[in-house]
Amino acid sequence: GVPVTRDHLASLNDDQRRAATAPAPQLLLAGAGTGKTETLARRVADLILNGGEQPDRLLCITFTAKAAGEMRLRLASVLAPDQMPRWVGTFHAAMARLLMEDGAGLPCLARGFSILSPGDARSLLMQVAGVTDIKDGSQLQEAVSLLRNALATTEGKRPRSAALLGCDPEILERATALVPAYRAALADREVVDFDDLIVLPVLGMRADPALADRWSGRWSEILVDEYQDTNLAQHALVRLLAGDRRRVFAVGDDLQAIYGWRGADVAHIRNFASDYRMPGDPLRLEINYRSSPTILRAANAVGANDREAMRKTLRPADPARPAGVSIAIREVATAEQEGRGAVGWVQALRKAQADLAWRDCAILVRAGFVSEPIVKALQEAGIPVRLVSERQPDAPKEVLAVIAWLRLAMSRSIGEGETQEQWQAVADDAFRRCCAFPARGIGGSLFRRLRDHATDRGIALAASVGSVEASDAERDRLLAVLAIARRIGDAIAGKRLGVPASLRLAAEYSGIQDRLRDDGQGRLTQAWTACLQAAAGAGSVRSYCDSAGLDDVPGETEVPDAVQVMTLHRAKGLEFDHVLLAGLEEGVWPNWQAEKRDAVPEERRLFYVGITRARHSLRLSWVRQRRSWDAKPSRFLDEIPRSLLESAAPAFASSKRADHGAPARMAAPPTQAETDRLVAAFMARRTAASAGPQ
């Protein structure tokens, strides 16, 4: 027979290999850059190649859609296409899929349900609550989300999570009272919000042991990256899906726990061993393959100030690796100068290294408002820049409809030797969207009849078109939808088109193309172009359809070549050659409310996350006067050992100070009113964004 290949484990060190092959339940607890994610990927490959596991029996949960894309790429390098697991994605994407494929057991879930965007979910919540102010709506939405993710509203337990304790009690009370009416409104409209994707399965499995049995039998092992940032609902979900076998492989780093404000709790990783009755201690890794010795020493020094985290010292993989360039701290007068400083930084790096790609430079910020002047300065200097937003803005309905047509078309299969075509229920939501757009007179009552019919027979909506009770005219309209989907599917199969070309074809055949051209502001053209660009990075049409519409960056696996600007929360798990951490001021980082909320340690862990993203060089900058307030340097700057800092640090700052002519004022923290305004504006945007899948 064919010799068993062990190639997929060959690049791992001994500890990593042990972790990749140890029986589950297993917890791998290790510091940044030690290869946790790498080990997890290799474990998936090993389970399939050596363990004889069916690829679809593995559920692999990543933290962001981007991370899911990277995971698929890593897997594709060692697995053949037919060995690739389908269930690789964020909690939200995986559960959306499960509910679409097999959600019929949940009482509050309609077939062909659709998922509300966070913006639409907020509008609905505001309607239910009778509030009109966006800021109030955002606050309520955040509180409702925290409550539901803490499973607090349904369990009658006192909220326990730190995030809930930090919430305004009055808002919490209002939110608690709102949840039932909000849920009813969602159910009424046959939609779910992002939290539902996690919370409904948990409640469903708890209430219905048969459902729990069925679902926990689907996967033989569940692998979860970044476990330190799971909230209670996610933790409960994994526990339920793991069932009696308890086969969970979790990796994490308690020193990188940064989602306490969203209800995540490191207790889940600390209690993993007892929850899963794991024999022995968690596995460890100590060798860091990512960063220069200088950067590692800075990370170790900052990490040592976290009193709660388990001790983990990072060692460089190659003891002979030169210490690397010193860490630079830049003090500048204004936010605009911080932007110009970022331009100078990137230009100098490119000058020093001609083949450096833009995308290898990243600028990471604590809060979105810090990045605005930086992005502006980079754009003005003609430097390609990519602002990785917390979530992609909601795509217009035209674009979503094109994706739906493609998904519907791809959900049809024709069995070998059969004449009968089959439609999969996973595309029920796509079918619903296709019936609605472009409009062809398929009304609510016809649709409900179709759905009841499909539910009774346990078949896909598209498969019930032939047998549903309907007038000739009604059936013709439904058949027209299927005919178009068939044409799209056949054309793609015949021409072996790539993903962007398939999308274009779906747009043309469905008649949406003309509507994509322009709406006066170019908004549609822009969204459509972005969609096609993202699709260009997806592997196959099939894998695109598996994740499109579910992940926040549909199918994107390739990063365009541009300087990357993002918040620390988005940068989790990523790495870059050169990293600039901007906005290191008291009040910004740590955030002005951190002390009150007991969140300084979490702010420090964010700093730790930021430092450990860098491979070769690290620069930190802070602004003396941001908007209208005088700022002090962040206390975290003092935690970097002096010996690691560049000695010639003040040159840039002092020359700018001379330029500016403004005398250095006494540093004072921002006034309450100033920060309130800024933070409120920022929060309104972030809340809308953060309710989405991570």
Burial class (CB in 10 A: 0-12, 13-18, 19+), 91: buried
Q: If you search the block for the tokens 């510091």, which residue do you land on? A: 31
How many chain residues bind ligand ATP (CB under 6 A)? 18
Closest distance between Mg ion and the C-beta of residue 316, in Å? 18
**Per-residue string for binding with ligand ATP, 195-234, x by CB under 6 A?**
----------------------------------------
* For Mg ion, the closer CB: 74 or 515: 74
Angstrom distance (rounded) from CA 430 to CA 544? 14
Angstrom distance (rounded) from CA 560 to CA 537? 9
Q: If you search the block for the tokens 């393959």, which residue do you land on? A: 289
Closest distance between ligand ATP and the C-beta of residue 63, in Å? 9
Is 31 labeled as ligand-binding? yes
List the interface residues with Mg ion, window 565-594 (CB under 5 A): 573
* For ligand ATP, the closer CB: 12 or 365: 12
- Candidates 11, 127, 353, 593; binder of ligand ATP (CB under 6 A) is 11
Position closest to Mg ion via CB: 37
Closest distance between Mg ion and the C-beta of residue 62, in Å? 9
Token pair listed for 329: 């701290």
Torsion angle (degrees, nearest 10) of CA 153, 686, 618, 385 = 140
List the interface residues with Mg ion, window 34-53 (CB under 5 A): 36-37
Residue 157's SS3 state is: coil
* For ligand ATP, the closer CB: 14 or 514: 14
Which amino acid does the sequence have at 476? D
Decide which of Mg ion, ligand ATP, none touches 604; Cβ closer than 5 to 8 Å per partner kind: none
Angstrom distance (rounded) from CA 113 to CA 200? 13
Q: Is 360 in the site for ligand ATP (CB under 6 A)?
A: no
- Cα radius of gyration (the chain): 26
Main-chain phi, psi angles of 601, to 5 degrees: -60, -35
Q: Is 616 in the site for ligand ATP (CB under 6 A)?
A: no
Decide which of Mg ion, ligand ATP, none touches 692; Cβ closer than 5 to 8 Å per partner kind: none
* For ligand ATP, the closer CB: 193 or 225: 225
Is 33 labeled as ligand-binding? yes
List the interface residues with ligand ATP, window 290-329 (CB under 6 A): 290
Q: Is 253 in the site for ligand ATP (CB under 6 A)?
A: yes
Closest distance between ligand ATP and the C-beta of residue 9, in Å? 10
- Candidates 8, 26, 27, 34; binder of ligand ATP (CB under 6 A) is 34
Position closest to ligand ATP via CB: 35
| Strand spans (E) along 67-163 | 88-89, 114-115
- Counting other chains too, the contacts that 96-101 makes at CB distance below 8 Å and 24 or more residues apart are 96/197, 96/550, 97/426, 97/546, 97/550, 98/201, 98/215, 98/218, 99/192, 99/197, 99/200, 99/201, 100/425, 100/426, 100/427, 100/428, 100/429, 101/424, 101/425, 101/426
* For Mg ion, the closer CB: 37 or 625: 37
Q: Is 16 in the site for ligand ATP (CB under 6 A)?
A: yes
Give a three-class secondary structure readout of 224-259. ECCHHHCEHHHHHHHHHHHHHHCCEEEEECHHHCCC
- Candidates 8, 26, 38, 300; binder of ligand ATP (CB under 6 A) is 38
Q: If you search the block for the tokens 């993989």, which residue do you land on? A: 317
Binding residues for ATP: 30-37
Binding stretches for Mg ion (CB under 5 A)? 36-37, 573
For ligand ATP, the binding residues (CB under 6 A) are 11-13, 16, 32-38, 253, 256, 289-290, 573, 575, 612
